[in-house]
Amino acid sequence: MDWEPGNINYQGQESGVHRWQVDSELTLYWHPDWLHLAEDITGLHHRVPLEVPQGETASEAHALKAVERVVKTRRGGD
């Protein structure tokens, strides 16, 4: 299946940590205090940096864009 934004399953948040199920092998986590995505709820493993323009604060929208980049890379996109 080709990647589409709707293919990412947002799982909600727990203790402020947001969770996206990308596929059967990858779940990504983000907390508003982090400037990266992580593969574990503690934020310590496999960090994927967020692209946050100068003067902006990291947001769920920045995290989702990073999730989309990961998915495209995993699926062979740009």
Partnered with residue 68 across adjacent β-strands are: none
The pLDDT-based confidence of 5 (bands split at 50, 70, 90) is low
pLDDT of 24 reads 82
User: How many CB atoms within 10 Å of residue 20?
Assistant: 22
If you average pLDDT over residues 28-32, what whole number do you get? 93
Considering its fold, how many domains does the chain have in total?
1
If you average pLDDT over residues 26-49, what whole number do you get? 89
Print the domain residue range for 18: 5-74
pLDDT of 1 reads 42
DSSP H or E segment with residue 27 = strand 26-30
The pLDDT-based confidence of 13 (bands split at 50, 70, 90) is very high
d(CA 33, CA 48): 14
Amino acid (one-letter) located at 7: N
